[in-house]
């Protein structure tokens, strides 16, 4: 009798599971659209490619399961190892600054959970991302695969040195604060390319900077104060 009851329970659960999954998907879908409309579009992000990417990528798949209730709030969320997934508005703002178009090659420094890389991968095909924390590189890569962005290439390495084998890049985005702009990243930026990077002390407010290359000239522009986790370096 116990076996029969267990089988009946499993059968009923099987019938209900699609409905439960759909309800959960609907709940996230509503939160997702509200986040994009209220926290991103209404706050001045107007690049169509960026908005489409922010709507396409399910942020909750890049947040630890025990923190998914915060997935569609405009706030950073801890992901372990002293790292965070950046707040959605800032992700959108930094993406818009890159002025991405199909056919571009993009480098990200600081994979984390993979969310920023997925946003980039929703716009361009050639995306390369580097993460110095091995466990996060593995987890971020798994998240990208599961979310449908397996074309993004993930590398476990010190992002300070970029990814020379795939340079030059049309755009580079750094998602951790450095105390200076790494020269190897400047060297790997294509003529006409754009880099977005937070610069400053890890213990103070930093400055988000836009860096553009025009031939041998490098132009920097200070945009706004931000707070990012520090750019972690490999031991020397």
Which residues are marked as active site? 86
Cα–Cα distance between 220 and 222 in angstroms, integer? Answer: 7
Q: What are phi and psi of 193, to 5 degrees?
A: -75, 165
Distances (CA, A) of 68 to 32, 45, 59, 73, 228: 12, 24, 9, 10, 21
Closest to 87 (Cα-Cα) out of 147, 35, 25, 30: 35
Q: Which residues pair with residue 126 across a beta bridge?
A: 105
Distance of CA 126 to the CA centre of its chain: 15
Q: Token pair 């950073």 is at which residue?
A: 76
């Amino acid at each position: 009798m116990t076996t029969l009851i267990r089988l009946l329970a499993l059968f009923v659960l099987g019938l209900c599971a699609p409905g439960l999954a759909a309800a959960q998907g609907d709940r996230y879908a509503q939160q997702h659209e509200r986040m994009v409309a209220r926290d991103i579009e209404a706050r001045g992000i107007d690049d169509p490619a960026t908005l489409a990417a922010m709507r396409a990528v399910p942020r909750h798949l890049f947040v630890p399961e025990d923190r998914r209730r915060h997935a569609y709030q405009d706030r950073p969320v801890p992901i372990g190892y002293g790292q965070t997934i950046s707040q959605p508005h800032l992700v959108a703002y930094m993406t818009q600054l890159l002025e991405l178009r199909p056919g571009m090659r993009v480098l990200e420094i600081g994979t984390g959970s993979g969310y920023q890389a997925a946003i980039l991968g929703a716009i361009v095909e050639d995306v390369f991302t580097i993460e110095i924390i091995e466990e996060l590189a593995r987890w971020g890569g798994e998240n990208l695969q599961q979310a449908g962005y397996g074309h993004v290439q993930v590398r476990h390495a010190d992002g300070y040195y970029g990814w020379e084998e795939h340079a030059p890049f049309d755009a580079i985005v750094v998602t951790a604060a450095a105390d200076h702009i790494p020269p190897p990243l400047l060297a790997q930026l294509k003529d006409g390319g754009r880099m977005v990077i937070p610069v400053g002390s890890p213990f103070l407010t930093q400055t988000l900077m836009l860096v553009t290359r025009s031939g041998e000239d490098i132009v920097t522009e200070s945009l706004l104060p931000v707070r990012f986790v520090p750019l972690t370096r490999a031991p020397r």
